[in-house]
Amino acid sequence: MKTRRDFIKLSALGSAAVLTNSCLASEKENNKKKTSQNKITKPIVISTWNHGVEANASAWKILNKGGTSLNAVEAGVRVTESDPNNSSVGIGGLPDRDGFVTLDACIMNHENECGAVAFLQDIENPISVARKVMEDTKHVLLVGEGAKQFAIEKGFKETNLLTEKSKVAWEKWKEQSKYQPVINSENHDTIGMLALDEKGNLSGACTTSGMAYKLHGRVGDSPIIGAGLFVDNEVGAACATGMGEAVIRIAGSAIVVELMRNGLSPYEACKEAVNRIVKKHKDLTNLQVGFLALNNHGEHGGYSVYKGFNYALQTNTQNEMIDTKFNKKSTR
């Protein structure tokens, strides 16, 4: 039987919970108010890692002239895909353990239209094939041989994506055949790009050669809408980089957008998603994940499991790299 004292204790606990919830709710409310009072920053483009600077410059040429965010993100990430010196995206990407360069990409616009390709070989610009899937078919995702056939039918050229440099690296790796993902290095870094155009429309693109020396047939988060990328024009957009399996497990980018819908800032939403990953993995060794988000007011933010994630930002007044905050300083 509950005594009066128990009842008072319970009531006190109840009030504390109500208070905590109402504090959280008022913080969210404040964020919402702040956002609606702020002037919208547009156009704006952000993208993951150092290679984002060059990619943003190409996207900016389109945004700056009043072009669409969709054209901007496609043109932007194509720069990285076509750079043979970049070993994690497009041509020059490090191969899987059997020596095949297999590419994953997706694109999404302000009308929730999206397209993706996965496990695509011999085509330099998978993001443009993903856009064709979005615009010319009723499907969202094409994979492997079917995706390649589709690309060729659409006029894409077959290209050998395994550069001499990547082949040499793969042959060296084969001496030990040890799969050891290295975080924050150029062999494990996707480009994800988010843009808001002059009309206030958001789009995003994500493209990668995935983890170096992965199992043949492995597909990560980058071509999965809701995992590697998600856009909802009513709220914002998000993309992910890092260990794709961990991102897929929490439907990462969709979660970041939902958190922003509930009133969190882009930074807070990325942080909450990363914290969820940290909480749900017993072994975090080398498990780097970074999220990047942009809301429809042009506010942006990012957060990662480990120190070392950064993103490139370009607006009318800013062109800079931003280091994100992180959950853990060292990799163990």
Q: Minimum Å distance from CB 3 to ligand SD4?
A: 56
Per CB under 6 A, residues contacting ligand SD4 are: 188-190, 208, 210-211, 220-222, 241-244
Cα–Cα distances in Å, from 183 out to 113, 288, 307, 330, 331?
Answer: 32, 6, 10, 11, 8
Whether 190 is a known active-site residue: answer: yes
Record the tokens describing residue 298, joined without a space.
Answer: 């042009």
Q: Rounded to the nearest whole angstrom, what is the least distance from the CB of residue 187 to ligand SD4 in the complex?
A: 8
The least CB distance from residue 57 to ligand SD4, in Å, is 22
- Least separation, in Å, of the C-beta of 60 and ligand SD4? 24
Nearest approach in angstroms of CB 327 to ligand SD4 is 17
Residues 254, 308, 316: CA angle, nearest 5 degrees: 70
DSSP 3-state assignment of 236? strand
Give me the numbers of helices (H) and strands (E) for the chain, helices first please: 9, 13
- Non-local (6+) Cβ contacts of 188 within 8 A are 88, 181, 182, 211, 212, 242, 288
Task: Label residues 309-329 b or e (16+ Cβ within 10 Å = b).
Answer: bbbbbbbeeeeeebebebbee
Catalytic residue, chosen from 68, 190, 315, 324, is 190
Chain centroid, CA 51 distance in Å: 14
Map residue 167 onto helix, strand or coil.
Answer: helix
Buried b (16+ CB within 10 A) or exposed e, 223-257: bbbbbbbbbbbebbbbbbbbbbebbbebbbbbbbb
What is the token pair recorded at 21? Answer: 């919830």
Q: CA 51, CA 53: separation in Å to the nearest integer?
A: 5
Positions marked catalytic: 190
